[in-house]
Amino acid sequence: MKLINNFSKLLRINQWVKNSIIFLPAFFAGELFNPVHFIELLKSFFAFSFITSSIYILNDALDVDEDRHHPIKKLRPIASGKIDLKYAFLIGIGLCILGLFYFYGIENRAFRFVLIYLGIMIVYCFTLRRIAILDVVIIAIGFVLRLFIGGEVAITPNSFWILIMVFLLALFIAMAKRRDDLINGNGFERESIRNYNLPFIDSAISVLVPVIIVSYILYCTSDANILRVGDNLFVTTLFVILGFLRYLQLIFVKKLGGDPIQLFFTDIGLQISIIGWVSAFGYLLYF
């Protein structure tokens, strides 16, 4: 049981939820429940998750010395010595090969975007993550590339609305993660966050949240989307606003940190907001 738990932490399986963005192009196009597309997207989700896990392993391997002095990250499998570094490397390489082999075998341009993502993330792990602001922009670009991968797999083009909102949302998530790093560092300063501080990150979050909300409202009130989805599309903005307000309450009032993934799995308020949005938007689009 401990081995499975350590293996799960090594792969950061809880972070795989980020890769669900691959399903968004088909979801917004009303093609998510097309059996052929859904099966291909599901297989692509796992294949791409293998690749992202290999990047996490590379990142942990490069940070092993720093992580061993970090109050929280010292518990990670590699830093704690629960999984040998050489063994972790073999797992990472194997997962990456499996993911690439799958995408190479499907007849679309998804493999090209996967290679771009992999190349950018490898460079990110070695150098770009040390450059403040550029590091979070690279992370946001990685989320946009997930959209392109999903679009190619489902043979569904991405609208500029989706690209803009996912980029902004990913930028927000990356900033929130930097905030979490600062808070949970307990005085431990990593090279990757030396040029950040709480006032700067809080200001960035305060700017990004209204921009995202306004962008979504514009999306919901555009003539093309009203014609395609329906006059009641604006109702879904309620869940978006409630979700962001709840998140801001958690980090600014309750001081719970800033990792959105962790908060999503532990806070019922965020879960209700996200599930409510998916349900409302899905109902308007598919029924």
DSSP of 193-225: GTT--HHHHHHHHHHHHHHHHHHHHHHHHSHHH
Query: CA-CA distance, 276 to 280, in Å (whole number)?
Result: 6
Query: CA-CA distance, 40 to 52, in Å (whole number)?
Result: 18
Tell me the whole-structure pTM to 2 decimals: 0.93
22 in Cβ contact with 48 (< 8 Å) = yes
Burial 150-172 (b: 16+ CB within 10 A, else e): bbbbbebebbebbebbbbbbbbb
Q: List per-residue pLDDT tens for the chain, 287 residues long.
A: 787 899 999 999 999 999 999 999 999 999 999 999 999 999 999 999 999 999 999 999 998 988 888 777 888 999 999 999 999 999 999 999 999 999 999 877 899 999 999 999 999 999 999 999 999 999 999 999 999 999 999 999 999 999 999 999 999 989 988 888 887 765 455 666 888 988 999 999 999 999 999 999 999 999 999 999 999 999 999 999 999 999 999 888 887 766 778 888 899 999 999 999 999 999 999 98
CA dihedral 193→240→143→97, nearest 10 degrees, is 110
157 in Cβ contact with 30 (< 8 Å) = no
Query: CA–CA distance from 188 to each of 72, 74, 173, 177, 191 (Å)?
Result: 10, 12, 22, 16, 10
Tokens of residue 85, six digits: 């570094």
